[in-house]
Amino acid sequence: MLEETALAAAPEALGRRVVQVLPRLIRVLAAEMHRAPHSRDLTLPQFRVLGRLSERDYRAAELADSLEVGRPTLTSTVDGLVRRGLVERQRDLPGDRRGVLLRLTPAGRTLHRALEARAIAGVAALLAEASPAEREGLAMGLAALERGLQDACRTARAAAPEAS
């Protein structure tokens, strides 16, 4: 039994479980967010843009890189958010005549907060039947995963060629 538990906790086995669970979790959260007021017809890429812009304003090219999408894809995704009054574009940036800064509008911030609250409630509902020990184990595992992600981001930034 102990050996079985150790095998299930091996990094590869846990990696497999995360890769299996994550797509289903994203589908459940997306469905939950679609039930939020004013989110009808929002796409998952639009949810992602709202989430990233909730962190800070981004130059369009920087946001495309951050989301790992092409600039034409980002443009069409943002166009829909602009039409809905959720995102605004600021042009004529100092020192960059072609640059465009993207930011959430007050309506976009309000919608993002509502979507985030629904997502949190959805995850909480999924964990409602978990024991305190299971929730504690998940919290510890997520903290370890977050540290790994931070390390991976630092390594990627250090290895990235400097912009010239």
pLDDT, tens only, 24-60: 998 888 888 888 877 878 888 998 999 999 999 999 9
Is 164 a domain residue? no
Same domain, yes or no: 87 and 148: no
The number of folded domains in the chain is 2
Same domain, yes or no: 42 and 101: yes
Q: For the segment 71-130, what is each residue's pLDDT rounded down to a tens digit?
A: 999 999 999 999 999 999 988 666 666 778 999 999 999 999 998 898 899 999 999 999
Band the pLDDT of 21: cuts 50, 70, 90.
Answer: very high
Same domain, yes or no: 75 and 140: no
Alpha carbon 38 to its chain's center: 19
Q: Which CATH number covers residue 50?
A: 1.10.10.10
From CA 130, how far away is CA 83, in angstroms rounded? 42
Find the domain containing 78 and state its range: 2-126
Q: pTM here?
A: 0.78
Same domain, yes or no: 135 and 99: no
Same domain, yes or no: 135 and 60: no
Band the pLDDT of 138: cuts 50, 70, 90.
Answer: very high
Longest dimension (CA), the chain: 65
- Is residue 89 within 8 A of residue 78, CB to CB? The reply is yes
Same domain, yes or no: 64 and 38: yes
